[in-house]
Amino acid sequence: MTTPVSIGGTLWQPASGCGDRCRDGGAGRRGAAGVVVRVGALAAVLLGGLLLVMLSSAALRTLSRGILAVLGVRLVWRGPEPRPGSLLVANHVSWLDVVALTAIRPVRMVAKHDVRAWPGIGGTAVRAGTIFIDRTRPRALPETVAEVAGALRAGRSVVVFPEGTTYCGAESGRFRSALFQAAIDAGAPVVPVSVGYDSTEAAFVGEDTLGGSIVRIARTRGLTVTLAAAPALRPDPGADRRELARAAQASLAGRGYRLAA
């Protein structure tokens, strides 16, 4: 049985102080023609990929790799490979984080319910088994924790962004503990993963729009996303989820992740 999760009767909606000022605009840029070609190629990949994912959720990894390729984004993985049935907890910089993580291995994502409405991406997320969390309905959180725990028990790895919102990378937020309860309930390992970019142009923060972010990423030359995994944490039965969240976040120090002050 899942331990009830209390969030003090408040709406679980963390706010990031990052905004447009966080992007320095210093990266190399492609010309307008190159951007048009890449955005057009992305539309074609999404259309074809959506059809594939409708037939098989295993196609999500291929789709994610295709998205990175047409946008010209290089993916680097560092650290041990997580075993199936792990809870992967990562800092959150951009919607591109999701693409990078699903390109590495089969996972189920936990995403805010708004993603359902995103053109192309929303439909793909639903068919890929994404677990949606509605941060405006605190009483539904225990159901989400139970769904994540069930996926972990079934041997499916699940990705969570416990900061609850995006940060630019130079700044970060505190890891929220609620979904760590799923790993405790399922007896699953927790694998902290640092997500880092070599350009602030990837940051999806402030008043940014998905369309604007896609164009900016397509315009950026030589963008690299690095995923760096820390050794797995193995919570004991009855462990304190808050202590587990703090330990997971602390373990990312030195792996390209700057801890919150």
Q: What is the pLDDT of residues 20-45, one digit of tens each?
A: 667 666 666 777 777 888 888 887 77
Tokens of 49: 């990929």
Instruction: Identify whether 144 is part of a domain.
Output: yes
Confidence of residue 6 (pLDDT cuts 50, 70, 90): very low
Instruction: Identify whether 18 is part of a domain.
Output: no
Instruction: Identify whether 256 is part of a domain.
Output: no
Q: Which CATH number does the domain housing residue 124 bear?
A: 3.40.1010.10
Domain count, the chain: 1
d(CA 74, CA 6): 40
Instruction: Identify whether 3 is part of a domain.
Output: no
The torsion angles phi and psi of 16, rounded to 5 degrees, stand at -95, 140
Q: Helices 59-71 and 32-55: crossing angle, nearest 10°?
A: 180
Average pLDDT in the 125-149 region? 84
d(CA 209, CA 4): 35
Instruction: Identify whether 6 is part of a domain.
Output: no
Instruction: Identify whether 163 is part of a domain.
Output: yes
DSSP assignment, residue 253? B
Instruction: Identify whether 172 is part of a domain.
Output: yes
pTM for this prediction: 0.84
Instruction: Identify whether 187 is part of a domain.
Output: yes
| Cβ proximity of 18 and 31 under 8 Å | no
Average pLDDT in the 122-144 region? 80
d(CA 185, CA 181): 6
Give me the pLDDT at residue 12, please: 53
Q: Which domain holds residue 110?
A: 25-250
Query: How far from each other are the two terminal CA atoms of the chain, in whole angstroms?
Result: 35
Report pLDDT digits (tens) over 173-217: 889 999 999 999 999 999 999 999 999 889 988 888 888 999 999
**How would you class 25 by CB atoms within 10 Å of its CB: exposed for 0-12, middle for 13-18, buried for 19 or more?**
exposed
